[in-house]
Amino acid sequence: MSDLKLVDVSKSFGAVEILKKINLDVKAGEFIVFVGPSGCGKSTLLRLIAGLEEITAGELVIGGKRMNDIDPSHRGLAMVFQSYALNPHMTVAENMGFALKFAGLPSAEIRARVLSAAHILDLEPLLQRRPKALSGGQRQRVAIGRAIVRQPKVFLFDEPLSNLDAGLRVHMRIEIAKLHRQLGVTTVYVTHDQVEAMTLADRIVVLRAGEVEQIGSPLDLYDNPANLFVAGFIGSPKMNLLPAIVTRTADGRPALRIPDIGDALVALPDRAPRLEDGRAVYIGIRPEQFCVDGSAEFDLAIDIVEHLGGTTFVYARKGSSAAIVVETRDGRAHKSGDAIAVRFDPASLYLFDADGGRIRSAAFGQPNA
Amino acid sequence: MPLPRLLNRIGVYGFLGAMALLSVFPFIWMIVGTTNSTGDIILGHLGLGHAFLDNTQKFFTQANAPLIFWNSAKISLLGTALTLAVSSVAGYGFEIFRSPGRDWLYAGLLLTIMIPFAVLMIPLFMIMGRLGLINTHIAIILPTVASGFVIFYFRQATKAFPSELRDAARVDGLKEWQIFLYIYIPTMRSTYAAAFVIVFMATWNNYLWPLIVLQTNEMKTITLVISSLASAYYPDYGVVMVGALVATLPTLIVFFAMQRQFVQGMLGAIK
Amino acid sequence: MPAPISLRRYYDVNGWFFVVPALGLIAVFMIYPIIWSLWMSFQTGRGLVMHFGGLANIVRLTEDPVFQLALTNTILFFVIQVPIMLTLALFTAVLLDDPKLKFAGLIRTAIFLPCVMSLVVYSVIFKSMFVDDGVVNRALAAVGAISGPIPWMSDPFWARVLLIVAITWRWTGYNMIFYLAALQNIDRSIYEVARIDGVPATARFFRLTVPMLKPVILFTTVTSTIGTLQLFDEARNIVASDTSAGTAGPGDSVLTLSVYIYNLTFRFMPSFGYAATVSYVIVILVALLSFVQFTVARERD
Ligand SMILES: Nc1ncnc2c1ncn2[C@@H]1O[C@H](COP(=O)(O)OP(=O)(O)O)[C@@H](O)[C@H]1O
Ligand SMILES: [Mg+2]
C-alpha cells in the first residue's frame, strides 16, 4: 500500500500534447477512477504511472520516491489490461506465477502465492487450464490473480470489464470492490463508463482532452459538478442541459427565458445573485429533479416512454426542440403522444456560463432543496 | 436443372477438372517414370514399368545419393533455422521499437527485396573467394540469413502480436530479450511454422547460387545433381526421375503435413 | 534497483540490439555487393585485369547482338506469359470461389501442387515430357491435334512456347491462391445485393470483383514480372541443348538476361564489368515496370 502523486505531469507524442499538467494526490489505500470519453488520455495517464510510456514533463512519486525513470517492474505495481494479456501458451497457474519466476522467488513461495490468490478468486479448479479453455469472466479473474500474486503496492486497471457482457460486468465490478476492501491496496482504475466510476471509486478524476475537469467523490461530482462537461458526463440518463437567457418577469423579478420550451419564463429564487439582462447561460436539471410541487411548470408532448418497472423515463419536448428527459416513479400511465405537465423547483437548477463554467450560488444547484 | 445451367455446370467442372489434371500430371509422370527405363520414358510410355530398382540403384551409385541428400538437408535446415532466428528478431525489433532512424533503414531494406540476384552474384562470389569459402556450405547459407523478405514477413505478423502481452510482461519485470524469447516466440508459433515452410522450400530448391559456389561433386546439392544428370547429351531419364522424386518428397511431405501454414506463409506477405 | 536511465533510451538501445545482426549481414551481403557491382559496371577488361572504362560497357550493350537477343527473349517471355497466367489464375479462382462447388478443396490443392516442385526438378520433368516422341507429342497426335511431332527442343519458336507453357504450369496455382484469399475477404452480401438488383454475372465480375481485387492483381503482376525478368533455372534446364557451350535452346531461343550474365561470368573468359552492366539492365527494367504498373493502377482509381 502506497500513496501516489502526480505533479504537473504532461505527455506528448511527437508534437501533440496528449496530457496537460495533470496534478493528483492519491492517498494510500484509496480507490481512484479515471473517467472520461474515449481518447481523452486515460490509458495514457495510466501507462505513464506504470512506466510503459515515458513522462514528457512533471513528476511521478510513488511511496515518496520519484519514479519517472524507474523500470516498470520496479515501481511496485501490478496492472490488469482490458484484453487480460494472458500468455496463450501457459496454464492459469503458469500465467499467475510468471512474474514471480522472473523476480527470482523460490518455487515453493510462488506456488503458495498462486494458490492463495486462486483461493481468493475461486480459480482453484482452473489452475491447469489454458486461457483458451476459459470463459471471459474466468480470464478476467486470472488477469486479476496475476496482479495479486505480486503483492503490489498499487493496482492499475485499464478498462478491465469492457470485454465482458453486461451481466458479468456487474458481477466483476462487485468482485473488484470486495477485493479492494479485502486487500486495501491503492488502486487506479480507468474506465469510460461513469456507472463503473460511480460505484467503485473513493474519488473520481474526470478527464477531458488531456485535462482534469474535476476531482471528487462520486456523489460530490453528481451533486456539485464543476462545469457543464462534468454535469453532462456524470449521471444516467444525462442531466438536461438547456440554453437560457437572463431576463425579467412582468413584475420586474429576475427570471430565465428558455427558448427550447416555448420561451417559458422561470422566475429565479429571491436569493439568486444578480445577473445582467440578456446574458446567455445554460440551465441544468437532472431527470429526477422534476417533481410534483415545484413552482415552475410547463406542458410538453411525450415522444417516447421507457418503462423500467420501478421508474419511468419520459422523453418529452416542446415543438421541434431537443427532448427533455423526465424521471417519474408513478408514470406507468404515460404513453407516446400524450401531453405531460412537468414541474420543478427553480432552486434545484444548475446554472452554467455560456463557456461551460459553473455559476455557483447558494440559490441554485440544491438538489435536495 | 434447366439446360443452360446444366451446360454451365458441365463447362465449369470440365475446365476445373482439366486444370487439376494438367497440374497433377507431371507428378504422376515423375512417379511412373521412376519405374520405366529411359527408352520407355522418351517414347511416352505411361504405364508402370519394371526398371524402378535398376533406376534407383544407378541413382545411388552414380550420384552418391546419401551424401548429396545430406548436403541438401544440412544446408536447408541450418539455413532455415538461422534465417528464422536472425530475421524474426529483426522483424520484431523494427515493429516494436519504432524510431525514425530505424524506419528509414527499414524502408531501404524493403527496396533490397526488389534487387535481382544477378546483381549480387559476381560480388558475392568474390567476397566468398576472399573469405576462403568457395565450395563450402557456409557460403550457401550466409547471404540468405538476413532476408529482407522474411524480415518484412515477421514485421507484418508482429502487428498482430498483442501489445498488451508485451506491456504486461514489462510490468512483470521481463527484459526485452526475455519477452521475445518467452512470450513472442511461443505466441507466434504458427507464424514461425509458415515462415519455416517458405524458407525451407526456397533453400532446398535453390539452384543458381549453389551452382556458382559448389564445385566438387561431394559438396553438391540434389538440385545441382539433377540438373547435371538431365543436361547430359543422352540423359538417363529413369535415373533423373528417381532423383526428381527424392528431391520433391521432402517438400511434398511438408506441404501435406502443413498445408495451412504453407498457404498462410505464401499469403503472409500481403496481409 | 537498476540505475535509472531514461525509458526512451532503454527502448532505443534495445531497438538497435534487435535489428543490428540482420542489418550487419545485409550490409555485407547485400548493400556492399550492390555498390561493388555498380562500380564494376564501369570497368572493362577480362578476368581480374580490369580498368576504368567509363561508359564503354553501355556502348558495348548497343553493339552486342547476343545481349539484344537475351533482352528480346526476356521481354517476350513476360509480355506473353504474365497476362496469360494471371488471367487463367483469376478465372480459376473465381470459379473455385463458388461456395456451392463440389470438390473445391481437392481441385484447389491439385492446382496449387506445382508450387511444391523445385524449378529445376519441374524443368527436367518437362524436358522428358516434351522430347520428340515423348508423351506430349503422342497425346496431341492421339487426339488428332497434330500430324507430325512438334519440334519443342529443336525449333526456336516451339522452344519458346514450351518455356511459356512450363512457367505457366508452375505459377498459375501460386497466383490463384492470392486471388482466392482476396475473394474470400470480400463480403458475400455485396454479390447477393447485386444479384437481387439484377446485375448480370459478367458485370458482377468486371464491375465488382476486378476492382475489389485490384491490390492483389497489382501485387501478383509486379511479383510475376520481377520473377520472369530473372528467369534462369528453367531457361537453363528445360531446353538447354548444350550447357558446356553455354547456349540456351536452339539458336539461343530461350537465352535470358540472367543466363547471359551467368555465361559472361562463369562460362567464357569472365567479363565481370560487362556482366555487371547487364545485371543493372535487369534492375532498371524491374524498377521501370514496377513503377509503370503502380502508376497505371493508381490512375484507374
Ligand atoms: N503511442 C501513441 N502515439 C501517438 N498517439 C497516441 C499514442 N497512444 C495514444 N495516443 C493518442 O493519445 C490520445 C489518448 O489516448 P488514450 O490514452 O488511449 O485514450 P483513452 O484511454 O482515454 O481512450 C488519443 O488521441 C490517442 O490517439
Ligand atoms: Mg483506453
pLDDT digits (tens, 9 = 90+) for A120-179: 999 999 999 999 999 989 999 999 999 999 999 999 999 999 888 888 899 899 999 999
**In the predicted model, what is the mean pLDDT of residues C228-237?**
89
**Distance between CA C39 and CA C36 in Å, rounded?**
5
CATH number of the domain to which B261 belongs: 1.10.3720.10
**Distance between CA A231 and CA A221 in Å, rounded?**
8
Q: What is the pLDDT of residue C243?
A: 55
Q: Are C255 and C69 in contact (CB under 8 A)?
A: yes
Ligand nearest to the CA of A22: 1
Q: Does C266 touch chain B (CB under 8 A)?
A: yes
The minimum-distance atom of ligand 1 relative to the CA of A158 is 21
Contacts of C2 in chain A (CB under 8 A): 71, 74
The minimum-distance atom of ligand 1 relative to the CA of A37 is 22
Instruction: Tell me the CA–centroid distance for residue C126 and ligand 1, in Å.
Output: 58
Q: Does A145 touch chain B (CB under 8 A)?
A: no
**In the predicted model, what is the mean pLDDT of residues C212-238?**
88
Q: What is the pLDDT of residues A73-102, one digit of tens each?
A: 889 999 999 988 998 989 999 999 998 988
The C-alpha torsion from C210 through C216 and C218 to C220, rounded to 10°, is: -120
Q: Are residues C14 and C119 in the same domain?
A: no
Q: Does B67 touch chain C (CB under 8 A)?
A: no
DSSP-assigned letter for residue B2: -
Query: Which residues are paired to C52 by β-bridges?
Result: C43
Q: How many CB pairs under 8 A join A and C?
A: 18
User: Is the link from the previous residue into B66 a cis peptide, with omega within 30 of 0?
Assistant: no
Sequence-distant (≥ 6) Cβ neighbours of residue A127 within 8 angstroms = A91, A92, A93, A114, A118
Do the domain assignments include residue B208? yes
Smallest Cα distance from B53 to chain A, Å: 48
Q: Which of A9, A16, A17, A18 to mutate to test the pocket of ligand 1 (most atoms within 8 A of CB)?
A: A18
Q: Does B271 touch chain A (CB under 8 A)?
A: no
Q: Residue C3 pLDDT > 50, yes or no?
A: no
Query: Which residues are paired to B96 by β-bridges?
Result: none
Q: Are residues C146 and C266 in the same domain?
A: yes
What is the residue whose three cell numbers read 505531469?
Answer: A9
The total domain count for chain C is 2
User: Which amino acid residue places its CA nearest to atom 7 of ligand 1?
Assistant: A13
Instruction: Tell me the CA–centroid distance for residue A248 and ligand 2, in Å.
Output: 47
Do the domain assignments include residue C34? yes
Q: How many CB pairs under 8 A join A and B?
A: 55
Q: Tell me which residue range forms the domain holding C293.
A: 58-300
Q: What is the pLDDT of residue C246?
A: 62
Q: Does A269 touch chain C (CB under 8 A)?
A: no
Q: Does C9 touch chain A (CB under 8 A)?
A: no
Helix/strand/coil for B220: coil
Signed CA dihedral, C279, C283, C288, C293: sign only:
positive
Q: Are residues C74 and C192 in the same domain?
A: yes
The minimum-distance atom of ligand 1 relative to the CA of A53 is 1
Nearest to A103 among B162, B173, B187 (CB): B173
Q: What is the pLDDT of residue C283?
A: 92
Q: Are A248 and A256 in contact (CB under 8 A)?
A: no
Do the domain assignments include residue C45? no
**Distance between CA A172 and CA A174 in Å, rounded?**
5
pLDDT along chain B (271 residues), means of 10: 79 93 94 89 84 88 87 95 96 91 91 89 92 94 92 92 92 92 92 89 91 91 91 87 93 86 68 45
Q: Are residues C9 and C75 in the same domain?
A: no
Whole-prediction pTM: 0.84
User: Which amino acid residue places its CA nearest to atom 26 of ligand 1?
Assistant: A39
Burial class (CB in 10 A: 0-12, 13-18, 19+), B207: buried
Question: Which 3-state string (H, E, C) describes chain C?
Answer: CCCCCCHHHHHHHHHHHHHHHHHHHHHHHHHHHHHHHHHHCCEECCCCCCEECCCHHHHHHHHCHHHHHHHHHHHHHHHHHHHHHHHHHHHHHHHHCCCCCCCHHHHHHHHHHHHHCCHHHHHHHHHHHCCCCCHHHHHHHHCCCCCCCCCCCCCHHHHHHHHHHHHHHHHHHHHHHHHHHHHHCCCHHHHHHHHHCCCCHHHHHHHHHHHHCHHHHHHHHHHHHHHHHCCCHHHHHCCCCCCCCCCCCHHHCCCCHHHHHHHHHHHCCCCHHHHHHHHHHHHHHHHHHHHHHHHHHHHCC
Q: Are A103 and A130 in contact (CB under 8 A)?
A: no
CB atoms within 10 A of CB C286: 19
**In the predicted model, what is the mean pLDDT of residues A286-313?**
85
Contacts of B189 in chain A (CB under 8 A): 89
Q: Residue C278 pLDDT > 80, yes or no?
A: yes
Q: Are residues C18 and C111 in the same domain?
A: no
Do the domain assignments include residue B9? no
To which H or E segment does residue A147 belong?
helix A136-148
User: Which amino acid residue places its CA nearest to atom 25 of ligand 1?
Assistant: A39
Which of A13, A48, A77, A79 should be substituted to probe chain B, the one whose Cβ sees the most B Cβ atoms within 10 Å?
A79
Domain boundaries, given as residue ranges, for chain A: 4-232, 233-353
Smallest Cα distance from C15 to chain A, Å: 15
Q: Are A72 and B171 in contact (CB under 8 A)?
A: yes
The total domain count for chain B is 1
Q: What is the pLDDT of residues A54-72, one digit of tens each?
A: 899 999 999 999 999 888 8
B residues 233-252 closer than 8 Å to A (CB):
none
Give one word for C284, left, alpha or beta, with left for phi > 0 and alpha for psi -120 to 50: alpha
Write down the H helix ranges in chain B. 3-33, 38-42, 52-63, 65-96, 100-112, 117-130, 137-141, 148-158, 163-172, 176-178, 185-187, 189-205, 208-213, 222-230, 237-257, 259-268
Instruction: Tell me the CA–centroid distance for residue C9 and ligand 1, in Å.
Output: 21
**Grid cell for residue A21:** 499538467
Instruction: Tell me the CA–centroid distance for residue A228 and ligand 2, in Å.
Output: 23
Specify the length of chain B in residues: 271
To which H or E segment does residue A301 belong?
strand A296-307
Q: Classify domain A4-232 at the CATH class level.
A: alpha beta
Sequence-distant (≥ 6) Cβ neighbours of residue A23 within 8 angstroms = A6, A7, A8, A9, A212
Ligand 1 pocket: which residues have CB below 6 Å? A 13, 18, 36, 38-44
Q: What is the pLDDT of residue A135?
A: 92
Rounded (10°) angle between helices C156-184 and B259-268: 100
The C-alpha torsion from A289 through A291 and A297 to A300, rounded to 10°, is: 80
Contacts of B164 in chain A (CB under 8 A): 81-85
**Grid cell for residue C130:** 516434351
Q: Are residues C26 and C119 in the same domain?
A: no
Q: What is the pLDDT of residue A369?
A: 42
Ligand nearest to the CA of A158: 2
Which of A67, A87, A150, A156 should be substituted to probe chain B, the one whose Cβ sees the most B Cβ atoms within 10 Å?
A87
Sequence-distant (≥ 6) Cβ neighbours of residue C113 within 8 angstroms = B23, B24, B27, B255, C173
Q: Are residues C244 and C136 in the same domain?
A: yes
The minimum-distance atom of ligand 1 relative to the CA of A42 is 22
Do the domain assignments include residue C46? no
- What is the residue-averaged pLDDT of chain A? 90
Furthest CA-CA distance within chain C: 88
Do the domain assignments include residue B220? yes
Contacts of C30 in chain B (CB under 8 A): 112, 115, 120, 143, 146, 148
Q: Are residues C62 and C34 in the same domain?
A: no
Q: Residue A322 pLDDT > 90, yes or no?
A: no
CB atoms within 10 A of CB B85: 14
Q: What is the pLDDT of residue B168?
A: 93
Nearest to C1 among A54, A68, A74 (CB): A74
| CA B206 to chain CA centroid, nearest Å | 8
Q: Are residues C78 and C198 in the same domain?
A: yes
Q: Are C90 and C177 in contact (CB under 8 A)?
A: no
pLDDT category at C211 given cuts 50, 70, 90 is: confident
Q: Which overall architecture, per CATH, does domain A233-353 show?
A: Beta Barrel (2.40)
What ipTM was assigned to the predicted interfaces of this complex? 0.89
Smallest Cα distance from B29 to chain C, Å: 8
Ligand nearest to the CA of A54: 1
Q: Residue A212 pLDDT > 70, yes or no?
A: yes
Which residues lie near ion ligand 2 (Cβ < 5 Å)? A 43
Q: Tell me which residue range forms the domain holding B48.
A: 34-266
Q: Does C189 touch chain A (CB under 8 A)?
A: no
Which of B86, B88, B121, B144 should be substituted to probe chain C, the one whose Cβ sees the most C Cβ atoms within 10 Å?
B121
Q: Are residues C35 and C121 in the same domain?
A: no
Angle among Cα C101, C107, C112 to the nearest 5 degrees reads 135
User: Which amino acid residue places its CA nearest to atom 17 of ligand 1?
Assistant: A41
B residues 85-104 closer than 8 Å to C (CB):
86-87, 89-90, 92-94, 96-99, 102
- What is the residue-averaged pLDDT of chain C? 86
Contact between chains at B170 and A52 (C-beta distance less than 8 A): yes
Do the domain assignments include residue B11? no
Neighbours of chain C (3+ CB pairs under 8 A): A, B
Lowest mean pLDDT among A285-299, B79-93, C97-111: A285-299
Q: What is the pLDDT of residue A37?
A: 92
For residue C237, give the amino acid letter. Answer: N
Q: Are residues C227 and C113 in the same domain?
A: yes
A-chain residue closest to C1, CA distance:
A74
